[in-house]
Structures are given as C-alpha cells and as structure tokens.
Chain A
Amino acid sequence: MGKFEVNLKINNIPVTVEEGTTILDAAKKLNFRIPTLCHHSDLCVAGNCRVCVVEQKGAKALPAACATPVSEGMDISTNSAQVRTARRHVIELLLSEHRSECTSCYKNGKCELQDLANEYRVNETTFMKLVENKGYTIDDFSPSIIKDDSKCIRCQRCVRTCTEMQSVSALAVVNKGEHQKIATFMNKPMHSVVCTNCGQCVTHCPTGALIEKNYIDQVWDVINNPELHVVVQTAPAVRIGLGESLDLSPGNRVTGKMVSALRRLGFDSVLDTDFTADLTILEEGTELLTRLKKALVDKDTETALPMTTSCSPGWVKFIEHKYPELLPNVSTCKSPQQMFGALAKTFYAQKKGLKAEKVVSISIMPCTAKKYEANRPEMRDSGFQDVDYVLTTRELAMMIRQAGIEFASLPNEKYDSIMGDSSGAAVIFGATGGVMEAALRTAYEIVTGREVPFENLDILPVRGLEGVKEAKVLIENVKPEWGFLEGAELSCAIAHGLANAKILMDKVKSGEMSYHFIEIMACPGGCLGGGGQPIPVNNEIREARMKAIYEEDSSLKIRKSHENPEVIALYEQFLGEPLGHKSHELLHTHYTGRKKY
C-alpha cells in the first residue's frame, strides 16, 4: 500500500509530504531548520526538550516539531514571536540548571546547547541559577568515560542510545521532578556497572555531560620526554574519520596527512594498527580452522562453535556480562590494539635495540572501550602495560589543533617500519563485516590455495549497514591437508551495534541458528561509527565513512592479510607460526564472566 500524501503550509509556503512525516522533516524539505536537542536520527522520538516547538494555527499549544506528524491542512509557523519566546525560555531554563563554564568545557565549540544559546542570544541571568542546590556529581572513575551531571540537559539521548542501540541499559532516568536525572544502577560509578565503555552515549550526547576521559596532557608529557621512545599506532577507522574533526567533510581519506601530522607532533615512530589487524587475521583464521578441525574431525565436544571475534572490547565486556556461559566461544585473540602493544615492548624494542621500559606505546582509536581494554589486567604480557595511553580520533584532532598544524595542507607521508605495513584486508576492519571479509580472504586461500570466489575479492554480502548479516561460503577442491573441509559450507553471521549482537546471540544461545563464525562490533557501523569518532554521527555519515574505507581497500596493492610482508617477516623472525608458543604468550588472552547488573 502506498503512503498517502499530506498537504500543509509551513511559514506560508505549501508543501506536500508523505503521511507520517514529522513537522521537523517537512520543514527541512523547505530548507527551514528547526532547532533540536533531544532529537537524534539514530534514536526513537522523545519530544522532551521542547526546543523544537512551532506554532500551529488553531491549536492551543505549540506542537513539538520532532514528535508531531503532519496532518492535512496544517498551517505551521516555525519562527513566530510566540515560538521564539518559548524557545528562548526553554534554553534559558536549561542553562539555569546547567553549570555553564564553556571556556573550560571539553565540548566548547562542539556543543549543541552552546550553539543554541549563541543562536538565541539568551540572557543567562533572566532566571535564577539552580546549580548550587543540585548536588551534581562528576563520575570520572572509568578509564573511558566521564559523566558530569552538571552539564546534563536530561535529553535522554544517552539513555535511548544505551537501551535501543546497545541493549545495555547502563543508563536510566531516575527520580522525578526537580530531582530527575540520568543515573546508573544504584548510582554506582560507570566502571562498576554493565557499561561496556562503547562510548555511543558520548557520541550521542549533545553537551559536555558525557565525554571521553582524555589523556592528551599525559601524551604530550611522554612526547616531550627525551628519554622515552614513543610509538604510536593508528586504527583502521581513524584515517577515514579524522578529517571530520578537522573541518573536512565526512568520507575523506586522510591516511597520509594523518601520518605526517603524527610525525610533526613528535612521535618517534608512526606505526599502524593495520599491521596487527593482519596479524589478527592469521591468528584468528588459524584458530577458526583449528576449532573446526577439532569439532568436525576429532569430535571434540569441548570445542565451542560458533567462534566469535574478539577485537571489539565493548563487545567483549558485553558478552562477559550478558552471556558469560558463551565466553568459550569468543576467540582468544587479543584485539589488534593489544597485539600491537604486546609486540611494541618485545619484538619492536628488540629489533630497534631499545629497552622495553623506555618504549611508550600510544594508540589512536575510534573507540572509548579501547581505553578500558588497555587498562585490563590481562593486557600486560610484555611485562609492562602493553598500551600506555589510548586517544580517540577526537583527541588526536585536538592535539593537531593545539600544535598549530594546518592539517588540510599537510603532505601525504608513509608509515614507519617496522610494524607499519598493512593490507586492504586490515583497513576494512574499520567497517562492519570487515573482519569477516578479511578472514575469509585469508582462510579460504589457506584451505584451497585459491582466492575467495568473489569478484575483485569484494565479499559484498558481508558489507553494509544492515543490523544482522549472514553469508555462506562453499569450500571446494581443498588442499589435501584440509580434506575434512571438502564440500563444507562455512556459515557466517555479522552483527554491529550491541542491540543487534543481542538479537544474534539470543538465536545462537537458543540453538535457533547455528553458525561457524560470527563477527561482532559493539558500535553501529563497526569501528567507523565508534564511540571515539568525530561527532556528530548518523547513518549518512556512517555510509560516507564506509565508502572511504572500501576505497582505501581497493586502492592498496596488497589486499590479503597473509601477504603483508612485515607480518610474514614477524612469523619468520619472532613468532614462529600462528597459534605457536610465542603467539600464545603475547597475542592471546582469556575472559572473565561478570555480573548482569
């Protein structure tokens, strides 16, 4: 059934839209922007901030444009005197509950509340300041996220994000009236509840109430210390996101400029997480094939299948809380960040003739959960904390600004060696489905000696923003040593965003679906939509970033992890073989079951 059309007038201009369209979207069609705060295109409608109110001829109250569908004959004014007064009041009220300290606020210049206050030229002294009696607290115990209630405007974007997109529900609305606020279970600090540190609430918070814990000053300190050798690794998704925080439009690939910027910031060696992403593929691919052999040939009932990926630390903490019984299914591979960290203070230090204690390893991640991951007690296999500081894409952009580097005009430079080589397979780790695609490119070839049977190596069924994706790959004409896989159909599933992960894992748990291999990324879109990526984010931006990732992949000569020359050398010179003794020591880990609340 086709949708009905509705005719209305906005600011006296007639417009025809589909039934069900909101006044907000109808106005957008006519290029009228209506201000919003609680609205976010990723989330369900809340209609609680009331800053989007408009006047409807004949109606007593002002409808909220974000929450009101159009109706036939509506006559809307988006900028009447009544509307402007009401909006100004709303902004002034929000500010009266708000500790306004823009000059020292982390979100200064990137805050939706500040923008609106500026736009409406509000008077902060009209109403009385309510902040002093509120007893606001700041929770900065988490290594990933700071929650500052004095900056919160109660738009509930975080709550909806954590519940709808992530199925975690670490944040909820508590109390009513003047005491209403956003809180965790029993007001516990964020690090001691089910929070996965994914940072999606951070990328959806319009103000400075939820921000990443930043380590910029600590990183400047180590850079400035001549005694230390500071290596930096950059995750796949940073190179396609960073530009957005430096005034470029979404979808710009800035790999070369990012490398030169990092060098100018003073890092001693600029290296690539992509290198260990390739390494992950070899370890994880081998682990999968080993598990399949144990289960199919040796009939080992202890071997857990499907195997899930483990490179998303938000996902790891999620499964530790929600499905502790499924932890044996999680690949024991560390994430690329942590593989890199463990090698930086061992292999790399040896090769460069450095003392491990003089090597500081920094990573630039699209992710806030990586900050938490670096602090996990399991992540000290080099004898030191393997990764010392984790910065988000946004923090890197801030450092580049602080250093006065004009990013757009930087030359394109190349990563240093060693641990700077990568393949296209590693780059696509940044997009949902990318690990699966990379793993298939390698595993298929290991088993059959031939390239995956997809045109140009592009495994399209695993790509795109659909929440849960499935793919099947028939394995034929295998090499003799993989005879047990002859004719087998490898069954794979992919989920991104923890709400989708839950849908998928519930099916796995109940036995409704059975797979061999599952890729899960905690963030919608995969790391490209990570909690450490530039703000704002929405599906349009995710699509642009995704396109850039696949362009980067196609642009590279080497597109399969097992062909990365530095990875090959690493096995020859240091590790021996995938899943070998040294790998186990440095590259693999274990997990901990956690409480459900």
Chain B
Amino acid sequence: MSDALVQARDLRKRFGAFEAVRGIDVDVARGEVFGFLGPNGAGKSSTMRMIACVSPRSGGSLQVLGMDPGSDGPRIRARIGVVPQLDNLDTELSVRENLEIYGRYFGLSRRRVRAKAAELLEFAQLTERAEDPVEPLSGGMKRRLTIARSLVNDPELLLLDEPTTGLDPQARHLLWDRLYRLKREGVTQIVTTHYMDEAEQLCDRLVVMDDGLIVAEGSPVELIERYSTREVLELRFLPEHRPAAGELAGLVERVEELPDRFLLYTADGERAQAEVARSGLRPLSALVRRSSLEDVFLRLTGRSLVD
C-alpha cells in the first residue's frame, strides 16, 4: 500500500457520451491540503464524488485510504468526511439534531454523538443556535454546520467541494480559519475551488483542472514561478487610446489581452510602467500587483477562472 491517501491513475468519468473527467493522475499525501482549482464545468465535483464513493468511476484506477471505492465504498465512507457543493442539511431537524443523527448514520452511540455534537457546535460557533431549525441560518452558518457535520466521525480525510462559494468575505475568512485549525490537527483535506485566492490561502499543493484534464500541478508558489512572472502590470485604456497588443509586446516578457484591460507580465512592474509612459501610451489606469494563480490559469488555458 502506498502512503497516498488518495491515488488516481487515468481516472475517468463519463455521463452518457460526454466525458467530464478525461484521465487524471492524482496523489494526495497524509496531512496535506490538496486543491483542485478550475472553472465551472472543469470536472472537480465529478472527481470529488468518485473519491467520496458516491459515483462509480468510468475508467482508470482509484484508491482511497488504500481501498477501492468500487468494492469498499461503505468502509471508505466510514472514515472520510464530505462537504458537498450544495448544502444538504436535514431541514426537518434542528442544528444539534443534524449533527447527532448524522453521527448515528456512522454507527456512533448516543452518548458519543451527544458529546461530539457539543464539541462541533463550539467548533462551528453555532452553540447559541443549537436548538434552532436549519432553514433560517445564514449561508455562512449553514456551511459551517455542514463542515461540522462532516467531522462527526473524526474523518482521516475531508473532502470540501467549493466550501466558500457564495459566501461574503467575512464568512469566508471565518471558514478558512476553521479549515486551518483542522489542518493543524492533522486532517488531510481535498478542496475544490474556482477562487484563486482560496487555493493560495488553503492549499499546500494543487492541480489546475480544465475541461476534464489536469493542466498543471505544484504548490501555489511553484506554479506562479513556473507559469508566470513575479509581477503583473494591469493597464486600462479609453477605447480611443487603446493600443494594439503588439505595441506592448516589446516592453515585457508576455502580454495578455482581456476585453477590458491588458496584463503585462514582468519581473519588475514599476519599471514596465515607466517604460509604458516613455513610449507615449496613455493608460487610464495602471496597477502593479503580484502574480496569482489566476495568471497561471490564464497562461495555461487562455481563459479567466471566473467569468
């Protein structure tokens, strides 16, 4: 048995004639936070559902916790936690009952789930709402409850499918904080996201996924070093002053033209900005920033992550 908690080789998922996952190789090591970064429709959820043993693979091999999801589904599911893309809390139960009853599905005793629920309510900062119904909770609270629920069986591996999509910045930061805590406690996590900041914040290592394929793999820093420059100069122009991309090409390593702006990739953004001014161009605004995974994605696929 390898050390990898998850090992996929040429993993595929077909829905009828359409292939959503087209042969990916993945290794997730114990203790790391591993990310799938990619736009909507990249095949992230399809992959996560196969790992969670709720969707049979169409091809390739897959091992989770050293077992085969095809034949050991229940045994694997007993040891993992799942936060699905869409919340599926039990709306007929209270916040606390959601945790307790879910624990019972894992075969935990009454006493055990009662203690565990109290601990998880604290963790999710929902103790005050314990006896409330689930429906009126805010999006962030529901998400925290879903994460708390996924921890009820003390999973070795936690699968989080777009944990913060649709949440406001404050709710996202609170959630990230909880996920850091879990990482410190040694829980291996697999996170999907189409937010590059989330991937940079959370992931030790990630794969960039597009159209059912993995197009790059590494730590956020490695990926940025390999596929982008240190800095980016963003230029916006009035339509009448907008230059052709060719005019900018000579100034920096690489230029990307987006509908509303140009991205100039360079090690030194300030200097590039000065050269732009010297060459007589008249940008409406100029912004120097550090490269991000968004730039990596743009470089690899020619498209933005979030449209």
Do chains A and B interact in one complex? Answer: no
